[in-house]
Structure 1
């Protein structure tokens, strides 16, 4: 799905009309855009669903005006970075009856020195992912599974076939202090191009931002 299709989908969902009706001549229903609040809601929907921040959401009256506005298409070759962060007290976790965690996550957390704090870290990681970008929009916490490799570095696994895209580009970090857990989810920036033959390589590698605590 290209950027224009994502914007069309966002507009259709916001105005609750079939996507087929959202052509360049589609006029935005005025009742849904009353005042700055309505326009702000449209801008927020475009950010959440299409991943674009369009000032034209405050001025456009048709889909054509919106989709052809500056910023509707990302600049060619530009790196995109999305970040989500969440912090929580381990004593404020959701009720255990709420099915937000998978059996694999339960198995991991119960092996840790403080299982509740470990559960809290996973909850924060799921919340951070959902705040991070449109790739996670519409997913429930249980569909975003936090995994760990043999070195205890956290990662992401989406248990929803319709959202299996780009997971290798996402990084997760989890940390704890006292009864507080914090997690960050970010989109890995585009890799730098390989140096030309005969040019100097970078002098040092960047540290791995992922945490070894979960």
Structure 2
């Protein structure tokens, strides 16, 4: 997971020789998978529910998607005032999770990267948000 974080920071242009200042937000969330055996499906979009149901381990998938949504909220909070319904975790063609911001976050020009990991008992996600240079806060 730490390697993923370093990779994400490098992709976002983070330079370890300078402080990131207000240009980068980081969020992390962890959940017990057992809590997601019977999820409140209203918390997820149609695409998220479809993805989770299609996996062989839907509880792990729901827990991971929830963690990614929460981590994303934490990561973008320095830049945007968005809610959970404004954050959708979709699957890229290669299966990797991607963040789609809708509603209040739809026009944001920043970048959000997310990584999800889970075991049969725990799920965790880390999100890194980068505000592009010169972009003004919209919160």
Q: Quick check: TM above 0.5?
A: yes
Higher strand share: 2
- Count how many residue pairs are aligned between Structure 1 and Structure 2: 112
Alignment partners' CA distance in 2, 1:97 and 1:172: 22
Residues 116, 123 of structure 2: 8 Å contact kept:
yes
Runs of 5+ consecutive residues of structure 2 not aligned to the other structure: 1-19, 134-139
Matched, 1:120 2:63: yes
Gaps of 5+ in 1: 1-76, 192-214
When residues 94 and 178 of structure 1 are mapped into structure 2, their CA distance, relative to the original with a 3 A threshold, is closer
User: Contact (CA 8 Å) 1:79, 1:190: kept in 2 or not?
Assistant: no
Is 1:87 aligned to residue 30 of structure 2? yes
1:115-154 C-alpha deviation (Å, 9 max, x unpaired):
1110100000011111122345341x23210011111111
CA contact (8 A) 1:99 1:142 kept: no
* Alpha-carbon contact 2:86-2:105 (below 8 Å) kept: no
Paired residues of 1:172 and 1:185 also in contact (CA < 8 A): yes
For 1:82, what is the secondary structure of its paired residue? Answer: strand
Structure having the higher Rg: 1
Matches within 5 A, 1:136-175: 136-139=80-83, 141-160=84-103, 162-164=104-106, 165-167=108-110, 169-175=111-117
Q: TM-score, normalised by structure 2?
A: 0.69
> Do the aligned residues in 1 keep the contact of 2:24 with 2:128 (CA within 8 Å)?
yes
Q: Does 1:177 align with 2:133?
A: no
The alignment's TM-score, normalised by the length of structure 1, stands at 0.46
Runs ≥4 residues deviating over 3 A: 93-98, 188-191
Residues 96, 78 of structure 1: alpha-carbon distance in 2 compared, 3 angstrom cutoff: closer
